[in-house]
Amino acid sequence: MALVRRFGVAERADVACCGVTVAQAAALEALGAEGPLRLGDLSRRLGITPSTLTRNLTRLEESGLVVREADPGDARSARVGLTARGRKAACAVEAQEVGFARQVIERIPAARRDAVVEALGDLLAAVRAATQDCCPGAFDHLMTGVGVDAAEPQTGAEPGEACGCGPGPAGGRGARR
């Protein structure tokens, strides 16, 4: 997802997955992986401006997916976390991403899959180096919580199972990408 976001593919606000925009999905994924975060930390983690984060969080809050609260460690700061409904949505987004990745990989001839995945790793390393040259630390914020072998949902649930996700891989993506 970081590579996709880095090149601006599917980053338009009207592209949706699981009923949220790609930017909102990224916020849900980050909060699902890391738990409640200060707004500034989440903004840096996502590589977006505070005003963009505020707009996204307002929509997520209106949908009952996130809640803002005072930071217990600093009364001047606020932090945001997932609601129970938000955790379910984060799980659905993650399951959709895993299902989509499987669909992509399965379209590559089996004999070439390992080479393609290795080449993508090389491309990601090149993107990281180039990003580090122009914007030190930015890539690391985008990759926080992203596993190298993210072939399975972190929850261990199959798409459509424990987290109440939408249709599994056989049912298609459902949302525009």
List pLDDT tens digits, range 66-108.
Answer: 999 998 888 888 999 999 999 999 999 999 888 888 998 999 9
Region of poorest pLDDT, from 11-20, 21-30, 59-68, 131-140: 11-20
- β-partners of residue 69 are 79
Q: If 0-12 CB within 10 Å is exposed, 13-18 middle and 19+ buried, where does residue 152 land?
A: middle
Asked whether the beta carbons of 28 and 173 are under 8 A apart, the reply is: no
CA distance 80 to 71: 9
CA distance 4 to 51: 22
Asked whether the beta carbons of 84 and 65 are under 8 A apart, the reply is: no
Region of poorest pLDDT, from 43-47, 95-99, 114-118, 171-175: 171-175
- β-partners of residue 80 are 37, 68
Most confident of 38-47, 56-65, 122-131: 56-65
Structural element, H or E, at residue 112: none
Tokens 């990224």 map to which residue? Answer: 26
Contacts of 109 (CB under 8 A, 6+ apart): none
Structural domains of the chain, with CATH? 1-177 (1.10.10.10)
What global pTM score does this model have? 0.65
Angle at the Cα of 63 from the Cα atoms of 165 and 38, rounded to 5 degrees = 95
